[in-house]
Structure 1
Amino acid sequence: MVNIRSLDPSASPLDYYGSELRRLREEANLSQAELGSVLFCTASLIGQIETAKKVPTRQFSERLDAALLTGGVFSRLVGLVLKSQLPTWFQPYAELEAKATYISTYQSQLVYGLLQTAAYARVVLSVENPGRLDEMVAARMERQRILEREHPPVLCVVLDEAVLYREIGGAGVMRNQLGQLLGFRDHPWVQVQVLPFAVGQHPGLLGSFNLLRFEDDPDILYTESYDSGHMTANSQVIRTQSVSYARLQASALSREDSAALIERAMKERYGHQPGPAVA
């Protein structure tokens, strides 16, 4: 007899997803192999997801809903599953980020997470999460869905020029990443500016930071240290950092000049044209 792992659906979103998958599959009188055949995946993958050993993707969830006629149950649930894969210390920020109406960020080292390609994110996340890369990348891509909402937040990004030249993952990954940034140049709710080296000293020298604004809640300042995130709603701190951000924006290149610099870096340093997206 096959030893079927018993799941506690209340243990985590992943366990609940697995238990629901098993329950609905069995109600449909399908074996793991039969369902896998319908979904173009292996029975082993079905089994791993049912036992909470593997994190489902959004694409898998959408195909699963269609196969089992669930009315979108798994497509809704997968968002919670993927969010639960984020580092515990980062989850409170991710929840606030998803509720914000206005996000301002200065990034001194890397492209902001909401604008990263999957390949770029994979290299960045591999530094500290080599054993959970698939889950972490999927979680980061899930965060980006807030930009696809009917009413997305306004996102203003100031990138240090160093971000364009720090080769993350090789020329191909960078070419596609810079190409993705260029894709936002005409986006109605996303503004990308580059802070050039020529500026010299500036208010962002102490490091990256994010400012979140909400319709009915106090503004939040978010910063990170090595293994934790720090948030504050202190009005004086918010006021000081808001002025600092305004100065960074004023010192940065215009949206159009920033796009020109990104395009020049992409061509001269990483090749002529952005290639196909790297998964």
Structure 2
Amino acid sequence: MTGIHSLDPGASPGDYYGFELRRLREAAHLTQRQLGDILSYTGSLVGQIETARKVPTPEFSERADAALGSDGLLTRLVDLVLRSQLPSWFRQVAELQARATEIYSFETHMIHGLLQTEDYARAVLGVLDRSNLDDRTAVRLARRSIFEKEEPPVFWAVISETALYQEIGGPETMKGQLAHLLAFEDNSRINIQILPFATGAHAGLTGSFDLYRFPTDPSIVYTEGYGSGHPTANPDTVKDCSLRYDHLQAAALSLRDSAELIRRVMEDRYGEQLA
């Protein structure tokens, strides 16, 4: 077992976070168990985070900052830790999402990562590989923090009706996921449209893509393959995908009709009776 004293705080963001957490805890004259009790976590978890064997969450960091009087240090560090846990090919995309003022997404078969619930994300990430699933799920959910910024991006999602029926994680998980989508009905910055089966052939048949727009930098199109991501600022590609997105939005249901379809699917397929 790796001891905290052998950790190099410069080895990784996780090691640095653990080093600082231990320093703050000892300065407060608390054992790992005592700090865990204060935070409503186990002392074992505190120890695992201190030794960089477990990834801290934003919630853990906020509680620890409050308990240890660390003026938001751990909350500031946790974003760096979580980003370092992303696959190397995806880190640039996470940075683009964090900087974008407008995000336009088209998904052909599942809910976009920024809109996923914990159970849904866990089911997606657990296909073929369940190693470190808790940590990988926490890292994905942490990306949603971009919506909590003082100036969050405007997010438009056009989702194929297929994604409502693709039963990822089972009926209960799907009910929770669709309810999560409905929770954004009154949020003018997060807008969800469903592209219905009745549309037939459409401008997104080539596949899913994201379009990121920035105040001054060129817009970027992002597509994804197996274990790789492909961001590009090529003007022709951006122009083509922007046109495709305009057509997808025009073909999709309105925001209100999209919400009604989501409700109907919850009732008819997953047995959720809504008033």
Find the counterpart in structure 1 of residue 164 from structure 2: 164
Greater alpha carbon shift after TM alignment, 82-91 vs 26-35: 26-35
User: What is the CA deviation profile of residues 44-91 of structure 1, one whole-angstrom value per residue up to 9, with x for unaligned ones?
Assistant: 222111110111122211121122111111111111111211111111
Aligned length: 273
Gaps of 5+ in 1: 275-279
What letter matches 1:49 in structure 2? I
Contact 1:122 1:137 in 2 (8 A): yes
CA gap 1:245/1:171 in 2 versus in 1, 3 angstroms = same
CA gap 1:233/1:131 in 2 versus in 1, 3 angstroms = same
Identity %: 55
User: What is the CA deviation profile of residues 113-160 of structure 1, one whole-angstrom value per residue up to 9, with x for unaligned ones?
Assistant: 111111111100111541121111111211111112221111111001
Provide the secondary structure at the position in 2 that maps to 1:173: helix
Report the alpha carbon displacement of residue 165 of structure 1 after superposing the two structures with TM.
0.3
Distance (whole Å) between structure 2 residues aligned to residue 261 and residue 117 of structure 1: 19
Find the counterpart in structure 2 of residue 125 from structure 1: 125
CA gap 1:190/1:38 in 2 versus in 1, 3 angstroms = closer
Distance (whole Å) between structure 2 residues aligned to residue 156 and residue 261 of structure 1: 17
Q: Compute the TM-score of the two structures, normalised by the length of structure 2.
A: 0.95
What letter matches 1:75 in structure 2? T
Distance (whole Å) between structure 2 residues aligned to residue 203 and residue 109 of structure 1: 15
Find the counterpart in structure 2 of residue 40 from structure 1: 40
Find the counterpart in structure 2 of residue 140 from structure 1: 140
Distance (whole Å) between structure 2 residues aligned to residue 168 and residue 80 of structure 1: 30
Provide the secondary structure at the position in 1 that maps to 2:169: coil
User: What is the CA deviation profile of residues 149-175 of structure 1, one whole-angstrom value per residue up to 9, with x for unaligned ones?
Assistant: 221111111001100000011111111
Report the alpha carbon displacement of residue 3 of structure 1 after superposing the two structures with TM.
5.3
Distance (whole Å) between structure 1 residues aligned to residue 187 and residue 128 of structure 2: 32
Find the counterpart in structure 2 of residue 152 from structure 1: 152
Aligned counterparts, 1:54-93, within 5 A: 54-93=54-93
Find the counterpart in structure 1 of residue 193 from structure 2: 193
Provide the secondary structure at the position in 1 that maps to 2:96: helix
Distance (whole Å) between structure 1 residues aligned to residue 6 and residue 54 of structure 2: 15
User: What is the CA deviation profile of residues 153-211 of structure 1, one whole-angstrom value per residue up to 9, with x for unaligned ones?
Assistant: 11111001100000011111111111111111221111111111111111211110000
Find the counterpart in structure 2 of residue 13 from structure 1: 13
CA gap 1:188/1:39 in 2 versus in 1, 3 angstroms = same
Contact 1:223 1:230 in 2 (8 A): yes
Contact 2:3 2:51 in 1 (8 A): no
Contact 2:105 2:211 in 1 (8 A): yes
Distance (whole Å) between structure 2 residues aligned to residue 106 and residue 48 of structure 1: 38
Provide the secondary structure at the position in 1 that maps to 2:201: coil
User: What's the C-alpha RMSD, in Å, of the aligned pairs?
Assistant: 1.5
Gaps of 5+ in 2: none
Greater alpha carbon shift after TM alignment, 75-84 vs 170-179: 75-84
Contact 2:100 2:153 in 1 (8 A): yes
Q: Compute the TM-score of the two structures, normalised by the length of structure 1.
A: 0.94
Find the counterpart in structure 2 of residue 277 from structure 1: none
The yes-or-no answer on 1:258 pairing with 2:230 is: no
Distance (whole Å) between structure 2 residues aligned to residue 119 and residue 212 of structure 1: 27
The yes-or-no answer on 1:97 pairing with 2:91 is: no
The yes-or-no answer on 1:236 pairing with 2:274 is: no
Contact 2:203 2:244 in 1 (8 A): yes
What letter matches 2:140 in structure 1? R
Provide the secondary structure at the position in 2 that maps to 1:202: coil
What letter matches 1:243 in structure 2? L
Distance (whole Å) between structure 1 residues aligned to residue 54 and residue 204 of structure 2: 40
Contact 1:175 1:273 in 2 (8 A): no
What letter matches 1:244 in structure 2? R
Provide the secondary structure at the position in 2 that maps to 1:90: helix
Provide the secondary structure at the position in 2 that maps to 1:89: helix
